[in-house]
Structure 1
Amino acid sequence: MNRFLQKVRESKSCQAWSFLVVFFCCLPWSASMAEDFVSLPEKKLITGLNAIKNLSFNEAFYDMQDLAKNMPKYQLAQLMKADLYAIKAGKSEWVTQKRTAHARKSNALLSEAKVRWQRKADLERSRGDWDALLAQYVLKTSHEPYLVIVDSAAHRLYLYQKNENGYEEVANYYVSIGQKGVGKQVRGDLKTPIGIYKVEKELSDSKLPELYGVAALTLNYPNSWDKQKGRTGSGIWLHGTPRSTYSRPPLASRGCVVLNNPAMQTLIYQYRLAPATPVIIAQSAQRSLIDRNYEDKQQVLSQINQWLRSQQNYQVDWSRVSVFAYPGEQGVYYVSFPVKGGKLVEQYWQRQGVSGSWQMVYETFQKSKVGPQVS
């Protein structure tokens, strides 16, 4: 790297190249390039960033030029193209001047580049471990055809589809979350909630302001656990972006989970996520905890099953029971199942003490939105 920096210092574009090198030296790096990206624009962006990392000026220039040409509303691509044009023209000082004059916007766009680059590193480290995120939160499911997990730290939405062997990841997308991060507590705090939610309904393009893009899926925030905890607010959705831009910076929404419009259209029109689809919004994936928590998960499943078989309040079909580890709440599990009268029972189970038994700590009833009624 010292040899590379010496070459940069000797070039006419020293100032701007130094900026780019310092920026990318702060990013994680591994030898091989990940192959599985969610879209061609993201793959093209990563290829260009990789060229900058390697000081391959011409390759980076043509990659960003091509991306900006094909995606004229992709503001990050336009920024990177403008920087590289300035360097090529021998006007490297323009890069610093522009960054200084528009620091807030430039930093927001560059934060997206960092997040997408981190995704590349995560892909390489996680090869052979694709089910880790699913295993962390999902103990048992009912008949849900799809599950959605949002890893807010990675700014990634993962979609899992049910098959004969369980669930498999079929798509993942970059997402933007609340301006103040996660952990929503009160209305207007600009944070994205952490918890287990359900899709309530789809809102089509014609019913939405331009801010929400081509479509939206509304979520049931605040859910029963949020209400029990005194959390307030509403209007937390999965939705698209305004047509004036391709994507938004990582921290840009008022609390919603925001995808680009092509990704949102895929969720709506290809996968057709139905009401009651579980959406798990987590702070981060902690793969190191999976093996350690396996015994606890088996114990809680066994105890829930025993309780359901022994209670006299309602008849429960175990195959219709879903059990998820509740993100952001240590040792809390969410249990749901349908009962007679078109109702859905929601329960929250928690260990009592460090090594105590698992007990139901809260129960509520909701109107069941989908599926055959229990008779």
Structure 2
Amino acid sequence: MTRTINWSKLILSLLALLLLAPAAQPRMPIVAPYQLHPLQDLKGNATQGSPEQMIVAAIDAIRDNRMADARATVDALLAKEPNYHLAYLLSADLYAMQAGQLDTMGGAAPAGTADKLEDLRREALVRIRREASPPPVTLLPAQLVSFSDKQKYAILVDAAASRLFVFQNNNGIPKYVTDHYVTVGKLGTEKVREGDQRTPLGVYFVDSHMSRPQLDKTFGAQADLYGVGAWPISYPNELDRREGKTGHGIWLHGSPAATYSRPPQASNGCVVLTNPELASVQDYLQIDVTPVVIVPKIDWLTTEQWQQRHTAALNLIDHWRQSWQALNLPNYLNYYSKGFSNSDGQNISSWTRQKTALAQARNDAQIQLSNISLFTGGKDGMLVATFDQDYRSKALDNRMRKRLYWRNEDGAWRIVWEGAAANG
């Protein structure tokens, strides 16, 4: 039987791909995720589910030479999300396959679109990997060490996998809730300076919310870049500023109206979700409370391994407290790095002199810690401890929210920064 190519639909799909595709970015070469075969003239069955489930199902159908099912699924997906770039790419390929075999995803696209196609192939691969290897929800993330009593949820971003995870505080134990595809910085992670187009690594906290009406009022026509809303996070944090890192405006935000989703690396440093998924995630966010932990890759632990890590970290904080309260100066100062500094600008030398004077004066105190949160993040797995500190002595009664940054130095955890915490 002779196949008739629907040239009008093919041209429409290709034009949509070109018009809606994001700007070209520098990328590494990508292996095509499937081998395309001529489309069969059969009525197919559309896979239903989330857009991500549908796009992966369509790719799987093409791989299995179930072209009619792929066609039906892509059509249903575009009816649901008419601005989904990757779905337009598959649609164009499927129409082109009526004329013969294609060797690679995007083989039907005109010359000169290589960078745009590479972005879409990267997105396809990221989504395929998520469906092929779902998160091990029976395991626990090593980076979420301990929730405070106020923290109902935590956000954990796996930059390498382009996934944002939501975990619930389940009686102190992180419980998987959901995960979503995200976009990170055009040039990856490890943000250092303003305008470097990288996403920071570390422990941050949601510090405000900007609704779409607020974005429109503030940014005018440019507000569409942020989609349905934005949740700024606390970059640069105290450690970032100590290390001279610059930049601002790192947000969790949505996508432009004409774009269902963006490539895995396409933002100026923000963490970007689709608009429907941001609307879902924002239900879990508490201003100045919810942690947003951004890591190169999540480390998954068994419950027993996680519990050992949790207990060891809490013991570390309590032994530090006990040494301070007992005025055991050698033990106490051994918890501090030689490169220590604090919020008042003191270094380890001035800090040692101050604490020595207090110990000699026998300024006995009772020190209690509560609402302790412990998270690890960043390139070197910095341990970030935040807690309410109640200090009572004859000379001083003080209650504050405090933060300590601990770095593992030659097998021992030592404090590199100490000061008041404005969030967390």
User: What TM-score bracket applies, with the shorter chain setting the length?
Assistant: 0.7 to 0.9
- Cα distance change on mapping 1:62 and 1:180 into 2, 3 Å: same
> Which of residues 363, 388, 397 in structure 2 aligns to 1:338?
388
Q: Which amino acid aligns with 1:240?
A: G
- Would you say 1:329 and 2:380 are equivalent positions? yes
Q: Does 1:142 align with 2:193?
A: no
Task: Find 2:115's aligned residue among 85, 104, 121.
Answer: 104
Residues 1:290 and 1:191: Cα distance change in structure 2 (over 3 Å): farther
C-alpha displacement at 1:41, in angstroms? 1.0
Amino acid at match of 1:56: R
8 Å contact from structure 2 (residues 373, 385) kept in 1: yes
| 1:295/1:335 CA distance change after superposition, 3 Å | same
**Which whole-Å deviations, capped at 9, do the CAs of 1:93-127 have from their partners, x for residues lacking one?**
9953625331111111121111000101221xx55
Please give the secondary structure, in 1, of the residue aligned with 2:60.
Answer: helix
Alignment of 1:269-288 (within 5 A): 270-287=283-300
CA contact (8 A) 2:207 2:232 kept: yes
1:298 deviates by 4.2
CA shift, 1:311, in A, is 2.5
SS for the counterpart of 2:94 is helix
Once the two structures are superposed, residues 288-313 of structure 1 have per-residue CA deviations (whole angstroms, 9 ceiling, x without a partner) of 89988976664443121122234259
Structure-2-length-normalised TM-score: 0.70
C-alpha distance in structure 1 between counterparts of 2:302 and 2:379, whole Å: 14
| Partner SS, residue 184 of structure 1 | coil
Distance 1:95 1:260, change over 3 A: closer
> Residues 38-60 of structure 1, C-alpha deviation per residue, up to 9 Å, x if partnerless?
x6111111111111121221111
Mapped pair 1:358 → 2:396: no
> In 2, distance between residues paired with 1:53 and 1:173?
24
Decide which of 62, 79, 85 is 1:75's aligned counterpart.
85
CA contact (8 A) 2:205 2:423 kept: no
The separation in 2 between residues aligned to 1:315 and 1:63, in whole angstroms, is 65
Tell me, yes or no, if the aligned pair for 2:203 and 2:292 is still in contact at 8 Å: yes
* Offset of residue 367 of structure 1: 2.9
The code of the aligned residue for 2:128 comes to W
Cα pair 1:149 1:281 within 8 Å, conserved: yes
Give the distance between the partners of 1:325 and 1:228, measured in 2 at CA.
18
* TM-score of the two chains, using structure 1 as the length reference: 0.79
State the distance in 2 between where 1:91 and 1:157 align.
36
Q: In structure 2, what is the equivalent of residue 88 of structure 1?
A: 98
Gaps of 5+ in 1: 1-10, 14-21, 27-38, 370-375
Contact 2:204 2:291 in 1 (8 A): yes
Bigger proportion of residues as helix = 1
Identity %: 32
Q: Which of 59, 63, 68 is matched with 1:53 structurally?
A: 63
The runs of 5 or more residues in structure 2 that have no matched partner are 6-30, 36-48, 216-222, 326-363, 391-397
Q: CA deviation at 1:204?
A: 0.3
**Structural RMSD (CA):** 3.0
1:154 shift after superposition:
0.7
Distance 1:165 1:142, change over 3 A: closer
Q: Following superposition of structure 1 onto structure 2, how do residues 168-207 of structure 1 map, counting pairs within 5 Å?
A: 168-207=175-214
Name the CA distance, whole Å, in 1 between partners of 2:292 and 2:275: 19
- Alpha-carbon distance in 1 for matches of 2:255, 2:242: 32
